[in-house]
Copies of this chain bind each other. A is one copy, B any other.
Amino acid sequence: MSRKRATSYDVARLAGVSQSAVSRVFSPNGSASSKTRKKVLAAADELGFAPNPIAKSLSLGRSRMAGLVVTQYTQQNYPIPLKSALDVISKSGDSLLTQIVDASDDGDDAVRQLLLKRVDFILCAASLSWNATMECRDANVPLVMINRRAECPGVDTIGSPNAGIMKEVAELLYDRGARAPVFLGGGVRNWVSVERCRGLVEASAQVGLAPPVVLDADFNYDGGRAAMRSLAPCIGTFDAVVTASDAMAIGAIDVLRQELALKVPEDVQVVGHDDVEAGRFQAYRLTTVRQDMHTIFSRAIELAFSKARDFGRKEESIIVQNKLIERATTTSPADSSNNRTR
């Protein structure tokens, strides 16, 4: 029967109490005698009543909606963030408004949209201009930058040690006999890529690898292929490829094997980044870096909540450990000892 949804007034009338009594029964800290409560609940049940969240929002001044900005790449290769964010947010009964931006764009427009929609806070996994960042502050909307740096103070930040983990990558490579790495990145506008690159360059010097040759390309499969092809004239001058994304790594491997007739990992070792599903395919078994996205997003939300409670507090900066996953695109210890003795 599709008549209009019941309101708290309908429930009140049926239960023979005031509307505010109904409101109290449905409020976490409402006080009501168990007698009223029972009457109200019965009436509510009979009418199929549930409080209207929109009216609630208007009254409370909080929309109970969170905003999430992710790049298309993230959305495609990390099923986790969306799902994680959704789970955490839903748990408290809130909703999630998602905006997807192209990898090459910043999140400014997306954030502005979310601000217009009056979200309570924003998680942003895309770069953001100083202006857009300030707009959040002016609107008193907590902003948490995920795997990006904040353009101005007062903004919480959380992410993986994108540069730091490269030390481990460099050590692994050195240990497995590689000496001359190439880095495939996504360009200077891609923050995580820049960090990963910097990390590799610094670590290479420390562990004794040659200074990496750095190449930029699209952050995807085709980008990896294109970059690798452009390296064809240099075959023999490098023995490892480190990429800023798994998609690029997989593209690189395909070209290495099928077009350049090189063996992975015997001739060239490859390390990716992100641990996407395809990296586990038997055809690749890609050595890569996995970020703990679930923790990142869960804690990002905690940060936002705490900021909402005390908007004036100093910004926090959290780093969630990531992990190097060894698979078959780096040589096994046994093989590498052969390499090293030769």
A55: CB under 8 A from chain B? yes
Interface string of A48-70 (1 = CB under 8 A from B): 00101111011000010100000
For residue A53, give the distance in angstroms from its CB to the closest CB of chain B.
6
Residues of B within 8 A of A82 (CB): 75, 98, 100
Contact A254–B277 (Cβ < 8 Å)? no
With A117-B53, A258-B282 as given contacts, are A138 and B79 in contact (CB-CB < 8 Å)?
no
Contact B86–A118 (Cβ < 8 Å)? no
Contact B5–A277 (Cβ < 8 Å)? no
A241: CB under 8 A from chain B? no
Contact A277–B76 (Cβ < 8 Å)? yes
Contact A55–B58 (Cβ < 8 Å)? yes
Nearest-CB residue, chain B, relative to A284: B283
Residues of B within 8 A of A138 (CB): 1-2
A319: CB under 8 A from chain B? no
- Among A69-122, those with CB < 8 Å from B are 72, 75-76, 79, 82-83, 86, 90, 95-100, 113, 116-118
Interface string of A252-291 (1 = CB under 8 A from B): 0011001000000000000000000110111110000000
For residue A56, give the distance in angstroms from its CB to the closest CB of chain B.
9
A238: CB under 8 A from chain B? no
Interface string of A138-160 (1 = CB under 8 A from B): 11100000000000000000000
Partner of A278, one of B90, B100, B278, B282: B278
Residues of B within 8 A of A55 (CB): 58
For residue A39, give the distance in angstroms from its CB to the closest CB of chain B.
23
With A90-B113, A221-B281 already in contact, 10 other A-B pairs whose C-beta atoms are closer than 8 Å: A2-B137, A2-B139, A75-B79, A75-B83, A86-B98, A86-B99, A95-B117, A247-B277, A258-B283, A283-B283
